[in-house]
Amino acid sequence: MRETDEMKRRDLLRTGLAATAALAAPAVHAQNFDHTLRIIVPNAPGGTSDILARLIAPELTRALGQNVVVENRAGAGGNIGADVVAKSPPDGHTLLLMDVTTIATNPALFPRLPFDNAKDLAPVTMLIYAPYILGVANALPVQDAAGLAAFAKSSPRPLNGGNSGVGTASHLTLIELADAWGKEMTHVPYRGGAPALTAVVSGEADLTIAGATQAQPYAVNNQMRAVAVTGTHRLSTLPNVPTFRELGWPAADAGTWQGIMVQGNTPRPLVERLHRELRAIVALPPIAARLADLGAEPRTEGPDAFRQWLTAQTETYTRLIRANNVRLD
């Protein structure tokens, strides 16, 4: 009798374990990646998003056990690349990596978007914040921030400010600076921050503002003159360059906020797995050191904090765009 009871107990235990395993299987499977992942960068090669994507792709390949490739899909203010992700299968295998201020500005700039930011794209995590560097052409008779503001006010012609595209955060920040200086500026849009920097180096544009990850080498190598930086502190590589906050300038916390998004219906376990892996990658000593060299700070709080940030920034940029009547045409 006791043997029969023991057999029953074992059968019940086996049944319970099997049921538990069956319930756990979908959750485990939901976090798996079984084919090549794509990181879509909706900008030209050479920009901050492209640099960051190519830095993390090999590590993400190792973490997930699947190849991770980077694809540049530039155009339409980032909307072409974002639309690729918005219309991709909701399986977490197609990632959007970009300066997410673009996601915050485009609803106010485009009367019709081919996707719904809130529904078709799901935040995974912010990755980094990189302050802006305000740089001027070496040919400009300006040595520092005060000199630039004075020259802008006294110049018989408006300065040519190169930006990474109409309505981008770099464009809007230059608008705020020109307003603070009380002087008109000719805003010249380029297809990304890298071409705008090249224009300043060649003297085609008088000044530009771009993320430290791409602008810092130009300043350190004296290809352009850095006169101010955004963010809370001076950059260690440019210790003599003051912050906007020190100067009393607006947009003191502007910069490039790089983040990862996926298709809006991607299951939460996959989103959380991506967040965990990306957070770990950004913290790896070689990656962290490289980001620090580029003037970037890790920001990997996860999907909920990212969504809150995006909502707040969308409201802020919408007000700024409408107040300055910024239009794409």
Q: What tens digit of pLDDT does each residue of 121-150 get?
A: 999 999 999 999 999 999 999 999 999 999
* Residue 15 CB coordination number (10 Å): 10
Residue 30 has pLDDT above 60, yes or no: no
Return the pLDDT at 10.
Answer: 58
Residue 1 has pLDDT above 70, yes or no: no
State the amino acid at position 294 in one-letter form. L
118 shares its domain with 179: no
CA atoms within 13 A on the CB side of 153: 11
CATH number of the domain within which 210 lies: 3.40.190.10
Query: What is the distance in angstroms between the CA of the first residue and the CA of the last residue of the chain?
Result: 88
Domain limit, last residue, from 247, 273, 296: 247
What confidence tier does 48 reach under pLDDT thresholds 50, 70, 90?
confident
Instruction: Please list, in sequence order, all residues whose beta carbon lies within 8 angstroms of the beta carbon of residue 166, skipping any fewer than 6 positions away.
Output: 77, 109, 187, 189, 326, 327, 328
**Does residue 223 lie within any of the structural domains?**
yes
Domain limit, last residue, from 206, 222, 247: 247
Residue bearing the bigger pLDDT, 30 or 281: 281
Residue 20 has pLDDT above 70, yes or no: no
Return the pLDDT at 312.
Answer: 92
Q: Find, among 309, 133, 131, the residue nearest to 219 by Cα.
A: 133
What confidence tier does 294 reach under pLDDT thresholds 50, 70, 90?
confident
173 shares its domain with 233: yes
**Does residue 23 lie within any of the structural domains?**
no
Residue bearing the bigger pLDDT, 192 or 227: 227
Residues 268, 272, 274, 278, CA torsion sign: positive
Given the structure tokens 């090669």, which residue do they identify? 45
- What would the pLDDT profile of 67-110 be if each residue is shown by its tens digit? 999 999 988 889 999 999 999 999 999 999 999 998 999 999 99
138 shares its domain with 230: yes
Domain limit, last residue, from 205, 223, 247: 247
Q: Find, among 289, 286, 261, the residue nearest to 274 by Cα.
A: 261
Given the structure tokens 């004296």, which residue do they identify? 222
66 shares its domain with 201: no
Residue bearing the bigger pLDDT, 260 or 320: 260
CATH number of the domain within which 43 lies: 3.40.190.150
Spatial contact of 125 and 278, defined as CB atoms under 8 Å apart: yes
Return the pLDDT at 13.
Answer: 52
260 shares its domain with 243: no
Q: Find, among 169, 178, 233, the residue nearest to 207 by Cα.
A: 178
Q: Find, among 198, 214, 237, the residue nearest to 52 by Cα.
A: 214
**Does residue 29 lie within any of the structural domains?**
no
Concatenating the DSSP letter of every residue in 57-114 gives HHHHHHHHTS-EEEEE---GGGHHHHHHHHTS-SSS-EEEEEETHHHHHHHHH-SS-S
Given the structure tokens 């991709």, which residue do they identify? 88
CA–CA separation, 203 vs 152, rounded Å? 16
86 shares its domain with 185: no
Residue 238 has pLDDT above 70, yes or no: yes
Report the number of distinct structural domains present in the chain.
2
120 shares its domain with 262: yes
CA–CA separation, 313 vs 107, rounded Å? 11
Full residue range of the structural domain in which residue 103 is found: 37-129+256-323
Residue bearing the bigger pLDDT, 193 or 246: 246
CA distances from 161 to 32, 281, 319 (A): 46, 36, 22
Residue 29 has pLDDT above 70, yes or no: no
What confidence tier does 11 reach under pLDDT thresholds 50, 70, 90?
low
Spatial contact of 122 and 271, defined as CB atoms under 8 Å apart: yes
Percent of the chain with pLDDT over 70: 90
> Which DSSP state fits 242?
P
114 shares its domain with 143: no
β-strands 94-99, 207-211 pairing: unpaired
Label residue 325 exposed, middle or buried (CB < 10 Å: 0-12, 13-18, 19+): exposed
- What would the pLDDT profile of 169-217 be if each residue is shown by its tens digit? 999 999 999 999 999 999 999 988 889 999 999 999 999 999 998 999 9
Q: Which two tokens stand for residue 107?
A: 């609803």
CA angle 10, 16, 18 (to 5 degrees): 105
H helix or E strand, kind and range, residue 188: strand 185-189
3-state secondary structure of 2: helix
Q: What is the mean pLDDT of residues 148-168?
A: 94
Spatial contact of 227 and 144, defined as CB atoms under 8 Å apart: yes
What confidence tier does 24 reach under pLDDT thresholds 50, 70, 90?
very low
What confidence tier does 31 reach under pLDDT thresholds 50, 70, 90?
low
Residues 227, 233, 239, 242, CA torsion sign: positive
What confidence tier does 27 reach under pLDDT thresholds 50, 70, 90?
very low
